[in-house]
Chains A and B, each alone.
Chain A
């Protein structure tokens, strides 16, 4: 069956650098049923309506046991049994409660200026990182030296991780992220052990920090979460811990890819890079187009229906795994004109890059601002940047897709 091999091809590392022709195949039928039981949807309008469909659950408990276990890539990231599920993997009303409490110190209506208020601080972090970019030999790795450390530093500041602890935090995050990225050369058992160790250490660290914040609260997000004075109720200690870990991982994992994908795309479109260099305001529409063109989250693999649902004559049975390939929807010619063209001047960019519906990206305002600042500054300060490898080596993960390294050559770094 071609359908079966199609989804396998999509998740196959060999196609990571350019999955888009496979998505074109995927869109030829509204629903693909994979032999492992996964239903895959790639059309823009279908994905959008499923994201607003109150019969579609994000809760693993609503998923029927699949023969052969978890079939979907990217599912390794949760469900280690240590922490309760985060709001990412819960349905309303639990989802709404936890998300609302978490949102209180983060965004409108209660903290409308939190993110924009960080603009100056973000710019300083970006400047510092770029100041240290030039390795001397005229080459650098954008991932290692910039797009990875930037968001981790930002999330630390936001959560209220003391500066002195940032390096420890980096290293746990590093370990956890690399274990999300299964590599054939690393033994599975060993990887699990390393991940558990990092998670445990991180958990213990966060727990101690939360205790401190309980006694001596500041204005950071962790303090607000432990204070628990939201009218939506308070989170249990475990819920706070799980949420903090979610913010840490989700708060930078995706942004790394957004910035790296952005730099890669700009290097492939030098005329747009030049425009951005001359006019940093272009960063705003550019990042929107980027979220359409190369979204860091390629698919949402964790959904399943709580009733049999029908989609263009295909019944997706209750409890079956449903995978929504948002990156495919973003290139759907039924929705976007000339979808394979990167065009920051495009109007009407209602992309699916940050999802939609109740689970739409929690960190969207922060991710947008980080990417806008980062790309505008890189464009302004890097002198004659050029790709040393195209395509660059990608990370294993098909869900959270992005280059593992982005090696470039520059003539210098402008002051």
Chain B
């Protein structure tokens, strides 16, 4: 194919379809145009809104500092695309190169980019999930509804799950002076992503802010009144919480159901692709015309043993979208790999948390700068004698250095002194991640096996 001008023709007059009109979809569309793609571009999205930014939804929006409709993503340029918003893609015919839409229409492509992302995992008992006052927080509409309810008279908010989103919601509630209970299955907030040592710091942050934090318990049932409004929650320890607003914050589910039967390597953990963002089919053979980017993608990372990483990270979505867009319209030898080091941030209880690498792979942790007690520190995670991740609390300016250590597979513990080393940092201690065999909330990074056809995961909140 190389040299026959097909790529040039594709760039000039090809048809590119992007499924997913959020951050990754938008950035990919922009990159295609920036790189000189002049063909037809169609962007399909199930929500009626133009692309918007999600991080403010659990922070500024809940605080009333930003209106949900003002979180539109800034456009780098006019992408001159055919936007098909409000119509979900429902199927893919790889042989005929067609995407089916919910309205029955079909769109043909020469290259397809899948960026359908994830959605909030709902409360598993449908009848209870349907009670008035039970919310999830993923979309702009979710944020609008939740914000509206929080501004009405609320006796107590119950947040189920103390991952990053759950903790941010709890933080926003406290900042608005709303009574809030947080129920967390693990031993502390953030334990799945950052381990128990850092989880203890997070626990203190919740308590100091006046959160009624219940760790090591699960919500086993939500109960409503005759009007169908949520009134209380039953806990696994036998207790009950009187509440009129419940926010279910139990992680996310990848939007891949629409690809069932398509022959693409898509499952509950996402869509497997190579480092160049080309999707695998179920046979493990890489496709040439289907690409993947953002939260729904799952790509092998050489730094982490070529394991397939799925990342629900803002920066990853941007970087991967740009690389996918580039590779879609490039010759094989011009393709570039997506070697982004996982990185994310969170803002809660007045503290700015940043992380790089994959802390969840760490066995041990060392506080290299600052102190846990001050909640201003940098800690590094070690995995089999090398640095695998780092987290900072209000110490983000040091993070690039630690990212370099991860990229260079530097030894753990680092053999050199650092500025502001305190008693906390005398030596590494176990990072205290929960036993992976016990299901907990979904961490923001998952490292999965090598097979794209995973077993189905069932969430069972009733299990001890």
Contact = CB atoms under 8 A, between A and B. Distances in A.
Interface of A: 48-49, 52-57, 91-93, 96, 109, 306-307, 309, 356-358, 360
Interface in B347-386: 350, 368-370, 376, 378
B416 A55 contact: yes
Interface of B is mostly: mixed
A264 to B, nearest CB: 32
Given A91-B419, A306-B417, 20 more contacts: A48-B400, A49-B401, A49-B404, A52-B398, A52-B400, A53-B401, A54-B378, A54-B418, A55-B416, A55-B417, A55-B419, A91-B420, A93-B370, A96-B376, A96-B420, A109-B350, A307-B417, A356-B397, A357-B398, A360-B397
A92 B369 contact: yes
Contacts of B370: 92-93
Nearest to A93: B420
B398 A358 contact: yes
Nearest to B400: A52
Contacts of A93: 370, 420
Contacts of A360: 397
B418 A55 contact: yes
A358 B398 CA distance: 8
Contacts of B350: 109
A49 B397 contact: no
9 contacts: A49-B404, A52-B399, A54-B419, A55-B418, A91-B420, A93-B370, A96-B376, A356-B397, A358-B397
A391 to B, nearest CB: 36
Interface in B415-447: 416-420
Contacts of A309: 416
Given A54-B418, A92-B419, A49 B368 contact: no
B409 to A, nearest CB: 16
A57 B404 CA distance: 19
B368 A54 contact: yes
Contacts of B400: 48-49, 52
Interface string B272-308: 0000000000000000000000000000000000000
B397 A357 contact: yes
Contacts of B416: 55, 307, 309
Output the residue of B368, B369, B419 with the most chain A CB within 10 A.
Answer: B419
A256 to B, nearest CB: 27
Contacts of B369: 54, 92
A55 B398 CA distance: 11
Contacts of B378: 54
Contacts of A92: 369-370, 419-420
Contacts of B401: 49, 52-54
Nearest to A318: B417
Nearest to A109: B350
B6 to A, nearest CB: 30
Contacts of B418: 54-55, 306
A54 B398 contact: yes
B236 to A, nearest CB: 38
A396 to B, nearest CB: 32
B327 to A, nearest CB: 21
Contacts of A109: 350
A52 B419 contact: no
A57 B218 CA distance: 48
B434 to A, nearest CB: 30
4 closest residue pairs by CB, A with B: A54-B418, A92-B420, A52-B400, A307-B416
Contacts of B420: 54, 91-93, 96
B394 to A, nearest CB: 9
A21 to B, nearest CB: 30
A306 B420 CA distance: 11
Interface in B383-418: 397-401, 404, 416-418
B376 A52 contact: no
Interface string B91-127: 0000000000000000000000000000000000000
Output the residue of A48, A52, A360 with the most chain B CB within 10 A.
Answer: A52
A48 to B, nearest CB: 7
A360 B397 CA distance: 10
Interface string B15-48: 0000000000000000000000000000000000
A91 B419 CA distance: 7
Given A92-B370, A93-B370, A96-B376, A52 B397 contact: yes
A358 B369 CA distance: 13
A275 B118 CA distance: 46
A109 B59 CA distance: 15
Nearest to A307: B416
A307 B369 CA distance: 15
Nearest to B369: A54
Contacts of A48: 400
A57 B418 CA distance: 9
Nearest to B421: A54
Nearest to A56: B419
Contact of A306 (B368, B397, B398, B419): B419
A62 to B, nearest CB: 9
Contacts of B404: 49
Nearest to A59: B419
Contacts of A306: 417-419
Given A92-B370, A357-B398, A57 B419 contact: yes
A100 B329 CA distance: 48
Nearest to A57: B419
Contacts of A356: 397
